[in-house]
Amino acid sequence: MIFQLVVIVLLLGTIITLRFFDYHLLSMLFIFITLLILLYGKLKNRFIFEYENSGEILSIKSYQWLSAGKKPRFEMPHSKILNIKIKESILKKYLVVLFSNSSGKVLRMDIDITFCNENQVNLLFIDIKKNMTMKDQEVIS
């Protein structure tokens, strides 16, 4: 994303310079190239996020729609999930899932949820936590 912004600033600077020296045809070409880069950036940053949290398994798919069928998938039984939390940095937001594998080792999975709005993130977090607390209540009783 930062690379795209730098390229756009350089192209806009080139357009202004070409307009200043009366190269209008070349400046129109650079305007067209800038618009294509903006369109590509908009399309490239579109994500598809699907999750299913019913029954015994949490299933999350998170991928770009231009990924040509490559759909990273995270599936884990609720009994193996130890903890979830949301980690926010300056430009990214992740759903961090801590789970144990068959040998008992604790593993961590960071799922990019930057493109989800605050309401969607809260609903996802509450839904997963609710199923985790139901799992804990079944173990206690």
Q: Give dist(CA 16, CA 23) in Å, integer.
A: 10
Q: Tell me what pLDDT residue 69 has.
A: 58
pTM for the model stands at 0.60
Residue by residue, pLDDT tens for the chain (141 residues) are 576 678 778 888 888 888 888 888 887 887 888 788 778 777 766 677 778 877 678 888 776 666 665 666 778 887 888 888 889 888 788 889 898 888 888 989 888 887 788 888 888 888 888 877 765 555 554
